[in-house]
Amino acid sequence: GNSVTQMEGPVTLSEEAFLTINCTYTATGYPSLFWYVQYPGEGLQLLLKATKADDKGSNKGFEATYRKETTSFHLEKGSVQVSDSAVYFCALSDNDYKLSFGAGTTVTVRA
Amino acid sequence: SAVISQKPSRDICQRGTSLTIQCQVDSQVTMMFWYRQQPGQSLTLIATANQGSEATYESGFVIDKFPISRPNLTFSTLTVSNMSPEDSSIYLCSVVPSGGSRTDTQYFGPGTRLTVL
C-alpha cells in the first residue's frame, strides 16, 4: 500500500534560517505529491504540489522536487519567518484521489 | 477552488451519545472524503462519501460506527455513533472539485473538534 514517512519534529529555528523537512514515500503507482500546511488555529491548506517525476512545486518561498529515483519530496525554504510557524504534512495521492499523509512536522520559528 | 463549511465547529459530548457533523460546499464536487485527526497525530481517511449510494470505508472504519450520507453533490454528513473518549478528534471533510483529476488540489473544511467525556 501507499505510505509517507516524514521527518520527526518538532523543529525550532531562528528567523532567516534554512528549513528542510524530509519526506519519502512508498507507492505502487505514480502518485502525485503534496505538502499541506496547518497554521495555528486554521484549517489545512495546500502549500505546493508536484504531479510527476522531476517536477518542482513552489509557493511562498517553499520548494519541493519530486525525486522518483529516491522516492522523496523534501520541503525547503531558504529563509524562514515567524509566520512560517505551523505544522507541515507531506502527502501523496494515487489513482483513487485518496490522500495518504505523513505524521506531520511542527515547525516553530523564533524572532 | 471550493469553499467548505462544517457544522458544528466544535462540541463536547458524553460517552454513549452520537454526533452528526455536516459538510457543505459552495459548488458541486466530484469527490468528498471524511478524515480524522487524532490529538497530535496525522490525518487518517475514514471513508469516501458517494453521492446517492453507500460510503466506501477504509480498513478499520465501519458503517455502524461512522454512518455517512451524501444526498447531493454539495452536502455530506458524518455521524460518530456511540461515542467513547477515543473518538475525541478533529473530523475534516475534503473535496475534489468537479472535473478534477487525481493531480488536482483537494480542499479541506475547517474541521470539527470533538471532545468526548
Nearest CB partner across the interface for A99, out of B103, B106, B111: B106
Question: To 5 degrees, how large is the angle CA A99–CA B67–CA A37?
Answer: 30
**How do the pLDDT tens digits run along chain B, 117 residues long?**
788 999 999 999 999 999 999 999 999 998 899 999 998 888 999 999 998 889 999 999 999 999 999 999 999 999 999 999 999 999 999 998 877 666 677 899 999 999 999
**How do the pLDDT tens digits run along chain A, 111 residues long?**
889 999 888 999 999 999 999 999 999 878 999 999 999 888 899 999 999 999 999 999 999 999 999 999 999 999 999 999 999 999 999 877 889 999 999 999 999
pLDDT at B101: 67
| Alpha carbon distance A65, A51 (integer Å) | 10
Q: Say how many CB pairs under 8 Å bridge A and B.
A: 53
User: Element (H or E) spanning B25, and its range?
Assistant: strand B19-25
Interface contact flag, B45 A94, Cβ < 8 Å: no
Q: Which three cell numbers stand for residue A67?
A: 525525486
